[in-house]
Chains A and B, each alone.
Chain A
Amino acid sequence: MATVKLFANLRKLAGTKELSITGTTVRAVVNELAERSSEVGSVILENGNLRPHFIVTLNGRNILDLDTAVTEQDTIAIFPPLAGG
């Protein structure tokens, strides 16, 4: 199972910082996350796609294609819209 790390307000919505989720693509993992937590799902997804400015990384590299393949050793991080300086 891939490790999914959540940040900022997503932690409060999911009630955890980290989950283990099975899935062969980033999309499958994100959909499973939305199944487990409808509150997180409604915040991050819109019509099956990520809402604008949500950031997903796979092992620290930004993911633009949700159909990117995932292995059990991978870590997916999901961030809500962020800014700072």
Chain B
Amino acid sequence: MSGWSGRILDIDLSIQTYRTYPLDMEMARLFIGGRGLGARLLWDMVGPEVDPLSPENVLIFANGPLTGTGYQTSNRFSVSTKSPLTGTVLDANSGGFWGMQFKKAGYDVLIVRGRARQPVWIEIKNDAISFHDASELWGMRVFALTEKLGQNNNKRNVLCIGPAGENLSRIASIMNDRERALARGGTGAVMGSKNLKAIVIEGKDRPAIDDPGQFKFLLYETRKLLAANPLTSQAFPEFGTVVLMNIMNNIGALATRNHQQTQFEGAEAISGEELTEKYLVKNSACWACPIACTRVTKTDKVEGEGPEFESTWAFGAQCGIDDLPAIIEANSLCNDLGLDTISAGSTIACAMELSEKGYMDSDLRFGRADQLASTVEAMAYRRDIGSDLADGSLRLGAKYGHPELSMSAKGMEMPAYDPRGMQGQGLLYATSNRGGCHMRGNMVGLEVLGLPMMIDRFQVQGKSSYVVLHQNVSAAIDSLVVCKFTNLGVADEYFARVLSAVTGIKYATGDMVKAGERIWNLEKLYNLREGFGRKDDTLPPRLLNEAPTEGPSQGWVVQLEPMLKEYYRGRGWDENGVPTAKKLAELELTNLSEQVIAAK
């Protein structure tokens, strides 16, 4: 067995026992690992009858055949579950070190099911699995807990939830290696619902590689490509992801004040240039990553990783706040409490708009940097106003009679890119299987940055083909699992060659992208089985009806309908967005679709 470990560890917290069994290798060939394998296993385990916060939901942690091999950025892993935020299929993936350690422990997949009677934490040392009482750890924040449980980057790695997950916030994240996050969709709430505080892993076995000579050659080639590429060798290390702030603002596609505007007058003050000049301490990197995009920053109050672009935007432009130290501190607080920064920031922005318009009785106002930290704290503990905000902006808006003010798709808060200035991004958000998300493909490369080429960001016709390709490739990369930033310097073809060298199974580039398409269609089937349909492939009314009144995107709304029709056709789906029998047969998914038909 090469690449894959070939084993699943299946833990039932209700009876605090576990079993191991072989990975179905035909399933692995078709769905690779990570997100794809997680979605396929979730399909069998969690149906429409399951409440996401009930013991019947599962957490499926999955690494991929490349994880832990030492290939550049092969540190990542994912968790799949039914989302308590959206009700859709969910996977979230993270970097750092835990994924590598998980692979070294000798498992491809860790399934956690049931619910412990009392808080527990799990320790995994290859075949030695132990359950520990976590009663005294319950309530601890992430940074202190990670240290207490013995985090040691290359030897022993801690994954845990903070108070937000314990309090079942539907925007709670699972944290690993202190400041890495399986951030989106409420993964932390699912873990909290199981009374599971932490999973600590020590592994000792490096994964086997089928063709070490070829693998070594590809490592060498990838190193050269990443070093020669100006993005992976200069742009990321020098300015980090926050460098996008100024360009998104310049082109009028930076969502501002809950998407009421598309340019923020304070963008320069929260830019990557400002962060680098005034608050950067050093860069840091995940395991086996030569890019080192992570920024360690410091203010008078906190020092730690981040914030990334999306977090800076969520607490910055989206809340009308140009106070960078306050943003850095809110980001750090989210990491310590275990909250998704994008959803937290955008939910606060939604509350600010509800309050300013008199729909909600609170003193939250756009631009009030002094309110950020206290509001984040209140959300994690469900205190005072935080109890209204803890479950995301859609539930908040609905409670106060204005769900349309939630800037979300399928209930997940969208990231920074305002799609009125990027038509393809609008289609991406609307069709993303886990909701408003920029990690299921991202059109910023093609529509703004000219990577690998520039296309007209306002163009509608023909845009769907790019979206489909990006979605399929992202599903494949999320299943290997490597970091998408590697793909800026290394073509898809390399990933297929590395996958072949590691596993011994010959994957052409097309095979790998086809696997991505298979995974996307499987996720779509999952959502259809849950009752989602064409009506859910949409965006907030503001983005469809309210054009910006100034700036470079003035006069534009998202032209979703024609793009969506074209997208469904391009995917081989019918006019309601249901995959056709022909498409499913092509993707070897026919047997699953029969369950969707039966459910209807």
Contacts and interface: CB of A to CB of B under 8 A. Distances in A.
Interface stretch (B111-119, B437-445, B579-587): B437-445
A79 B247 contact: yes
A85 B247 contact: no
Contacts of B411: none
Interface in A37-64: 53, 55, 57, 59-62, 64
Interface of B: 230-231, 234-236, 238-244, 246-247, 250-252, 272-273, 308-310, 438-439, 442, 444-445, 448-451, 454, 457, 484-485, 488, 551-553
Contact of B252 (A53, A60, A81, A84): A60
A58 B457 CA distance: 15
A83 B247 contact: no
Given A8-B238, A60-B552, A83 B451 contact: yes
B40 to A, nearest CB: 26
Given A57-B251, A60-B252, A84-B309, A9 B449 contact: no
Given A81-B234, A83-B241, A84-B444, 11 more contacts: A8-B238, A53-B451, A55-B448, A55-B450, A57-B250, A80-B230, A82-B231, A82-B247, A83-B244, A85-B439, A85-B484
B246 A7 contact: yes
A36 interface: no
**DSSP class of B's interface residues: helix, strand, loop or mixed?**
helix
A85 B449 contact: no
Contact of B449 (A64, A77, A83): A83
Contacts of B450: 53, 55, 62
A8 B241 contact: no
Contacts of B250: 5, 57, 60, 77, 79
B552 A83 contact: no
Main secondary structure of the interface of A (DSSP, over half): loop
9 contacts: A7-B243, A7-B247, A53-B451, A57-B250, A59-B552, A60-B553, A62-B448, A81-B235, A84-B244
Contact of B444 (A7, A60, A85): A85
* Count class of interface residues, chain A: 20 to 34
A8 B235 contact: yes
A85 B451 contact: no
Nearest to B438: A85
Contacts of B551: 60
Contacts of B247: 7, 55, 77, 79, 82
Interface in A1-50: 5, 7-9, 11
B230 A81 contact: yes
Contacts of B488: 83
Interface string A64-78: 100000000000010
Given A62-B457, A85-B439, A55 B449 contact: yes
B266 to A, nearest CB: 15
A81 B231 CA distance: 6
Contacts of B553: 60
Interface centre among B235, B238, B438, B553 (most CB of A within 10 A): B235
A82 B448 CA distance: 10
